[in-house]
């Protein structure tokens, strides 16, 4: 066992790889974020990317799409991984457009 510091959280690691952990006998596994909606229409993602580039605040984006801000964050992560948006100076707060 060893400890890893992730932000403000200490995690105890067993030293097993994720593949080994996946094949361990099932215990009390949890599906994370199961209450979130990961489905977006392509036109929504295009519009979201444009709003991001204009500096729209993530909370306003959440209101606009009637989504949890975390769902918007996940969509933004998707767009960034596809190189469709870039990091911006004001980050998630934007310029509150």
Expressed in angstroms, the distance from the first to the final Cα of the chain is 48
- pTM here is 0.68
Residue 30's φ and ψ, nearest 5 degrees, are -125, 135
What's the pLDDT tens digit per position in 77-86? 999 999 999 9
What's the pLDDT tens digit per position in 39-57? 999 999 999 999 999 999 9
Domain layout of the chain by residue ranges: 2-93
Distances 49 to 4, 15, 19, 30, 97 between C-alpha atoms, Å = 34, 39, 34, 31, 14
What single string gives the DSSP state of each residue in 21-32?
HHTSPP-S---T
Distance of alpha carbon 23 from alpha carbon 86, whole angstroms: 37
């Amino acid at each position: 066992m060893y400890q890893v510091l992730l932000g403000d959280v200490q995690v105890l690691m067993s030293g097993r790889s994720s593949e080994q952990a996946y094949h361990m006998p099932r215990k009390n596994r949890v599906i994370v974020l199961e209450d979130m909606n990961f489905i977006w229409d392509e036109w929504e993602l295009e519009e979201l990317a444009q709003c991001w580039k204009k500096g729209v605040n993530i909370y306003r984006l959440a209101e606009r799409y009637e989504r949890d801000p975390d769902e918007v964050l996940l969509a933004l992560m998707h767009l960034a991984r596809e190189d469709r948006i870039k990091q911006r100076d004001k980050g998630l707060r934007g310029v509150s457009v």
